[in-house]
Amino acid sequence: MTNRPNNRLSSQQKAGLLAELIRDAKLVWRLLKDPRMSPAIKLTVPALAAVYLIWPIDLLPDVLLGLGQLDDLAILLLGVRLFIELCPPGIVQLHRDALDGKLPPGKEQGEIVDGEYRVIE
């Protein structure tokens, strides 16, 4: 019996990859809603990825089950990575910290105001 390395991903690695994809999707959503982001970046990269997804001509035909959807998935993932890379690093890091729970809510926008109040009847 030979000991061959197992090239398959473990369930823990798959879970980590899925968690990273979900985190990146949340990050993209937050960056799209951020008013500090350039409208050109917000429109260009997501629009180009969407155009490829709805374009009738694919790199791999969709009639090949499984393989046909791989190019669509690759373009979607590439679009997410490219969008994050084109965003200002400081804003991206603020949103990453907020997603990780390192910042209190509102801190990434610079909206925390320390103060006191009292109710007057």
| pLDDT of residue 20 exceeding 60 | yes
11-33 and 89-99 are packed helices; what angle lies between their axes, rounded to 10 degrees? Answer: 120
Tens of pLDDT, residues 73-112? 888 889 999 999 999 999 999 999 888 887 655 555 555 5
3-state class (DSSP) for residue 101: coil
Dist. CA 26–CA 31, nearest whole Å: 9
Report helix angle 11-33 to 39-54, nearest 10.
130
pLDDT: is 1 or 84 the higher one? 84
pLDDT in tens, 28-70: 999 999 999 989 988 898 888 888 878 767 666 666 677 767 7
Q: What is the pTM of this model?
A: 0.67
